[in-house]
Structure 1
Amino acid sequence: MTSLIAAVREQDEVARYLDWPGDFDLDRGDHGEEVHLASGAVLEGFAGDGAGGTFFFCGEGGEERPVLYADSEGGAALVAIGLPELLRLLLVVPWWRDCQMFSVEESRRSAAEYLEDMPDLDARRDRAATALGLVLPPEGDVLARLREVALEIGKDFVLVFTPGGEPYEPLFAG
């Protein structure tokens, strides 16, 4: 079975959608500063965004590992358990960072702004999901899962700026 990372790299339309509006680029996996998990678990940067943020796999294993996102301003949060969950988040709610209350209303406000510039956004998303073999859950379910992962499961995934020994701030308020 082909990995999802390989599938994204092989399919230009998928990669373009994930790059924008998803702000997810597999060629930007270097975080730019030394960090580690407080637990001592392995941390592997594998993608990034245009603002200097990084997506990390946590622990040993493959694409099923938890995914932590760290921005360039010292904030971090666990955002998915495994790459399939991350890709569903990026496909359904690519503006997830704007959903601080994890609400559908927040998401729909952001979606409206994106749809002004990209009226074919939903069709592009659906084609990308089909190409990756992903079934997309409803927006509310995706946001509820993000809340659960970031605020509950994610409590055990503390990113630390290694030179200063200081933990990153949570991206979401509890």
Structure 2
Amino acid sequence: MRDSTDLLQRIEEDVKVAALLADVFEFDVRRKVGDESARLASGLMVEPIAGDFTGGVFYLCGTVGSARPVLYASSEGDAGIIATDLSEALGVVVGFPYWRDCLKYSAGGDLAAMELAADFLCRDLVANRPAIGAEQSRVAEALGLTLESPLVLTARLHMAVKSAGPDFDFSDDTGEYGSLFGPFPPSRNRSWQ
């Protein structure tokens, strides 16, 4: 496992990897501007490290030298811990690019619903982006990541979001953010019927 500072530096120095992360996996280190009012209920520091196409921001929580979980705050007002560290977060982002949609169709945080959604999302991912396997391998190799199956990543993501606790409740000047677990069951998506 690599230190978060080292991983971020590697991404910033490797223009091709940074471009793949931004364009394919929506983890853009050039979009690391977070809201200055961003805060956790515990008072733990949050450091913006990347953004996505929709205005969402990835934050490292805590101070350098400590365990630094990764929190994702969407532009829709939802936030939560997605991984115990940056290496694990990148594993989710690269290994399962549709992770946000998996959370959206989690029926309020039900792992079985997320697993069902993951099956549909994997099918959609391969259909929409046939080269995804090669792109995942390129980024994983460059950053020393181990690619796990989407079902393993779904379970890991579920556990991270579910077990974070109230210390990681996120807010900014717009107010408190809700959970990353969406209310919809997979059956809500008509294309998955």
8 Å contact from structure 2 (residues 41, 166) kept in 1? no
Matching residue of 2:95:
92
Q: Which amino acid aligns with 2:138?
A: R
Residues 16/154 of structure 1: CA separation in 2 closer, same or farther (3 Å cut): farther
Matching residue of 2:150:
139
Q: How many residues align?
A: 172
Distance 1:173 1:50 in 2: 19
Matching residue of 2:16:
13
Q: Which amino acid aligns with 1:81?
A: T
Distance 2:166 2:140 in 1: 30
- How far did residue 29 of structure 1 move? 1.3
Distance 1:79 1:124 in 2: 22
- How far did residue 167 of structure 1 move? 1.6
Distance 1:112 1:18 in 2: 21
**Percentage of pairs with the same residue:** 35
> Cα RMSD over matched residues?
2.2
Matching residue of 1:48:
51
Please state which structure has a larger fraction of its residues in helix.
2
Matching residue of 2:131:
120
Q: Structure 1 stretch 92-101 or stretch 107-116: which is displaced more?
A: 107-116
8 Å contact from structure 2 (residues 171, 177) kept in 1? yes
Matching residue of 2:85:
82
Residues 30/21 of structure 1: CA separation in 2 closer, same or farther (3 Å cut): same
Residues 118-167 of structure 1 deviation map (CA, whole Å, 9 limit, x = unaligned): 21110110121011111122221111111111011344301122x36x32
**Structure 2 residues not aligned, in runs of 5+:** 184-193
Residues 8/63 of structure 1: CA separation in 2 closer, same or farther (3 Å cut): farther
**Structure 1 residues not aligned, in runs of 5+:** none
SS at structure 1 position matched to 2:43: coil
SS at structure 2 position matched to 1:107: helix
Please state which structure has a larger fraction of its residues in strand.
1
- How far did residue 19 of structure 1 move? 1.3
8 Å contact from structure 1 (residues 63, 82) kept in 2? no
